[in-house]
Chain A
Amino acid sequence: MTEKSQKNRRRSDIPAAVSSNSDELAIELIKINKHFGPVYANRDIDLKIAKGSVHGIVGENGAGKTTLMSILYGFYTADSGKIKVGGKEVKIKDSSHALQLGIGMVHQHFMLVDNFSVLENVILGAEDSVLLAPSKKKARIELARLAEEYELEVDPDALIEDLSVGQQQRVEILKALYRGAEILILDEPTGVLTPAEAAHLFRVFDTLKKQGKTIVLITHKLREIMAITDEVSVMRRGAMVKTLITKETDPSELAELMVGRSVLMEVKKGIANPGDIKLEVRDLEVSDDIGVKRVKGVSLNVRAGEIVGIAGVSGNGQSELLEAIAGMRKPDNGKVIVKGQEIAFKGDDSAAELRLAGLAHVPEDRHEHGLVISFEQWENSILGYSDDDKYGKGLYLSVKACKNEAKKQIEEFDIRPPNPLLKTANFSGGNQQKIVLAREISRDPDVFIVGQPTRGVDIGAIESIHNHIIAMRDAGKAILLVSVELDEIRSLSDRIIVMFDGNIVGEADPDKVNEGELGLLMAGISSQDKDKQEEAFVKDKIANDLANKGAV
């Protein structure tokens, strides 16, 4: 059996401290299914996590990692499947039940009461008397012990709102340990941490592991996986792709598994004839909603008649870059120049300024941004362009003109059912995407930026969407494409730019680059490093880096 052989392999690989109890499984998941509406968040998930190990779960945003862990923590109930904790089958009813079973979770967004003290937060929900004082007294002693044991010092009387993010996370971990957690699940724990804080967190992991605790680490940062995990499971689109021993894999393999290597789609396209620069981005810096810098000084050009693809594991700043170029996110620094016109980014309607400058934008998420789902199709066919005189002069909006335009778009893009009066929510995902594409392409823009053009779209629609994009290129438009589908990037782009951690780390020719090289770039490892190679080296280097930064 493969499971057995894997286990055997494990035993031989892992240092003695861990292997002593590696026969025991802390958690076993068997055929877990969970769906929200028609969408499967988790499909037939099998997972084994050894006791006393650090187990990484990687996957892109939306791969289903968090849902899976929420099932384990009792936030959601699985539609079907079995959960075994410590060898016994259990049905986890809610999070307090999970805690009883020794499963604690540290969420991506902390679940702390801001104006309570550390001590109050730790005992919240775990008070064992009517009066607070005895619980507090007990917790204070226990906290001191835990702090010493695991290097988790925090002032028990400090208010949460006065603590740094890293310290708040410590409180979350303390909360779980105080409740007797043997298995700690951490969801993207380093997303909000500085490198020094992250390094400290990893040292804490080591101590926890030595004490026999099991750690499940959810992340999409491959560096961390390589540095601290014993085993790693890769998820993609709700399914568990593979579980690997960290030592036996490398970041590029993981990146490939995460992004998926489906059959290369054949897209027929001629040779590009790049013309003048139509879109120019200079030293762009962009922060996300909570102020974390996501794009750290990106410069790029897109010329007329070429498709520039941005590849990268999602969450490395591509989305923010796209939103900034489209005028939806104000850059902290840098310039966006469309056809020689610098965009001012004044007020909260820069998207309109960019549209006037001749840029059209297909957003990454059609439901969140691209469509008003409760509108009828014809109303969505003019979204962003309602001021155009084509749809009624002055302030007047001619419903007739809008509907004619909608019918034209429906016909040209074969949107089904061909009914402009149908509510947008009632179209299928692929047709909704076509509604967005039809609207943007029919404006005949000189600069076209596209995010995830085929996300959640069926094969037939993918082909027609790709053909439309190629046709635009051949008509001399400048196209910037962001996609998590590596194949899509490779088959459509004339140039590939790879983003990692908010920076452009490389550029490649899609006809010459192979997937391994792209994978390495996407994992943030430049090709020179690869010559010296050895995953162990990489691991050490990263660990050193982190430790050095921690020391500073």
Chain B
Amino acid sequence: MSARKPLPRWADVALLPVLNLTLAFFISGLVVLMVGENPIEAMSILVYGAFGYGEGLGYTLHFATNFVFAGLAFSIASHAGQFNIGAEGQAYIAGLGAIFVGLALDGTHWLLVLPLAMLGAGAFGGLWGFIPGYLAAKRGSHVVITTIMFNFIAASLMVYLLNYVLKEPSNMAPESRSVVGAGKMPQLREFWDFFGYSPVNVMLFVAIIALFGMFFLFWRTELGYKIRTLGQNPKAAHYAGISNSKIIMISMTLAGAMAGMIAINEVLGVQNRLVIDFVFGYGFVGIAVGLMGRNHPIGIALAAILFGALYQGGQELAFMMPAITREMIIVIQALVILFTGAMEGLFRTPLEIFFTMIDVNKNGGGVPVSSTGQALVGSESDQRRQKKENGGGVGVGSESDQRRQKKEKQEG
């Protein structure tokens, strides 16, 4: 009984995040209750705001696009065993590449601007990822330290550049010249009125392609295989003749380039110019997206949509329920990040114990346990199972209640 088995894959990939999420929403509900609002109503506003109508959905997808890139920036490095928390700074710096290309090619066609902007933003973001990667590979400095420092450097550098270099003399605000023509990314609302005024644009498709690209990279190329080997067992990678330093530098550069795509979505997709703080914390949320998505493209896609929905639905909620301020929304978002990102292992140990017990029960005869010991194990796990079933039942009940209520509300 001493050895716990690792979780079955489905539990690791699906059950664990769902449990974490449920707990996050439960505690968020308590917070809502504390300020004197109905948590179920708040939930339904949030869900409706995020998915219920075209413009809301558009915003959700727009945010999700950013989160996909940020999540990829985290996960690519994570596969190589590097904890990249510098997507924020990498995206910020990449804004330079995006705006340079956007302004230079403003008079051409977006089909030309898009790939070149990706190259430009990718190069700048990649550089900002490469330097910590180089320092980690050659100098042994820890990427957590260097990437967070590079976030600060990026912030200061961009303030300087926007104030003294990129600002138009006639303009008071620290921002670059605007793109007006082909430099703007085509908005989906131009093709479908459905999306209202939401800024979801062509980068959404780039994000989807990037997710497929990530799958292909890690599970269908030599480089991806090497990155995964390094991340799982650096000594085995060394044995296999893989240059650990090269792979670290490559994966950090790739991660930075991926973060750079956020810049295109924001700078050429929304602001149409380079402004202060356009990254707006998306890079940091990417850490939670990557962790919750288990560094897998499908997981990242789902987590990105969740956080997109939280951002958009949260704004809606702040608008509809005046008692719930914008700050309160941030609390709810933070709770989700806390439970799915920082404390994602909360349920792991109990679940592992639970599944190990089920296993023991199933193959009871095969495991050499004394008869009394076996009986004990059996009764314990039965209790647990019962408890869990009860818990599960309640959960499902409340969820369906919510749904019913929402339906009623919509009908009303």
Contact = CB atoms under 8 A, between A and B. Distances in A.
Contacts of A131: none
Nearest to B3: A37
A488 to B, nearest CB: 22
B236 A369 contact: yes
B244 A348 contact: yes
A387 interface: yes
Contacts of B238: 328, 348, 351, 369
Nearest to A356: B241
A375 B240 CA distance: 14
A368 B235 CA distance: 6
A330 to B, nearest CB: 11
Contacts of A348: 238, 243-245
A352 B232 contact: no
A355 B2 CA distance: 41
A386 B223 CA distance: 9
B225 interface: yes
Contact of A37 (B2, B225, B232): B2
A361 interface: yes
Contacts of A391: 222
A414 B222 CA distance: 27
Interface string A392-411: 10011101000000000000
Interface string A346-390: 011111111100000101000011111111000100111011000
A349 B244 CA distance: 8
A171 B3 CA distance: 39
A326 interface: yes
B229 A354 contact: no
Contacts of B246: 349
B7 to A, nearest CB: 12
A327 interface: yes
Interface in B202-236: 219-226, 228-229, 232-233, 235-236
A350 B2 CA distance: 41
Interface in A249-279: none
B83 to A, nearest CB: 18
A327 B241 contact: yes
Interface in A325-355: 326-328, 347-355
A396 B239 contact: no
Counting chain B CB atoms within 10 Å of each CB, the highest count among A361, A383, A391 belongs to: A383
Contacts of B240: 351-352, 383-384, 386
Contacts of B236: 368-372, 383
Interface in B61-99: none
Given A368-B235, A379-B225, A386-B226, A399 B219 contact: yes
B241 A354 contact: yes
Contact of A397 (B2, B224, B239, B241): B224
A349 B243 contact: yes
Contacts of A383: 229, 236, 239-240
Given A368-B235, A372-B233, A383-B236, A351 B241 contact: yes
Contact of A353 (B224, B241, B245): B241
A397 B245 contact: no
Counting chain A CB atoms within 10 Å of each CB, the highest count among B3, B224, B242 belongs to: B242
Contact of B220 (A353, A363, A396): A396
Contact of B239 (A379, A384, A386, A395): A384
Contacts of A392: 222
Nearest to A79: B2
B243 A326 contact: no
Contact of A370 (B219, B221, B239, B245): B239
Interface in A50-105: none
Counting chain B CB atoms within 10 Å of each CB, the highest count among A349, A373, A375, A387 belongs to: A349
Given A363-B239, A368-B235, A386 B2 contact: no
A361 B222 contact: no
Counting chain A CB atoms within 10 Å of each CB, the highest count among B221, B225, B241, B243 belongs to: B241
B220 A397 contact: yes
A326 B236 CA distance: 13
A387 B222 contact: yes
Contact of B241 (A352, A372, A395, A396): A352
Given A396-B220, A399-B220, A384 B241 contact: yes
Nearest to A349: B243
Contact of A372 (B219, B224, B232): B232
Interface string B371-393: 00000000000000000000000
B220 A372 contact: no
Nearest to A363: B239
A299 B222 CA distance: 36
Contact of B242 (A37, A349, A368, A373): A349
Given A37-B2, A37-B3, A348-B238, A372 B245 contact: no
B64 to A, nearest CB: 29
A369 B241 contact: no
B222 A386 contact: yes
A395 B238 CA distance: 20
Interface in B1-38: 2-3
B236 to A, nearest CB: 5
A348 B240 CA distance: 11
Contacts of A326: 239
Contact of A352 (B224, B225, B242): B242
Contacts of A386: 222, 225-226, 240
Interface in B228-277: 228-229, 232-233, 235-236, 238-246
A285 B241 CA distance: 21
Contact of A351 (B219, B222, B233, B239): B239
Contacts of B225: 379, 382, 386, 397
A374 B2 CA distance: 20
Contacts of B223: 395
Contact of B221 (A363, A375, A382, A396): A396
A399 to B, nearest CB: 7
14 contacts: A326-B239, A328-B239, A348-B238, A349-B243, A350-B241, A354-B241, A368-B235, A368-B236, A369-B236, A372-B228, A375-B232, A384-B239, A395-B223, A397-B222
Given A355-B241, A382-B225, A395-B223, 6 more contacts: A347-B243, A348-B244, A361-B239, A372-B233, A375-B229, A397-B220
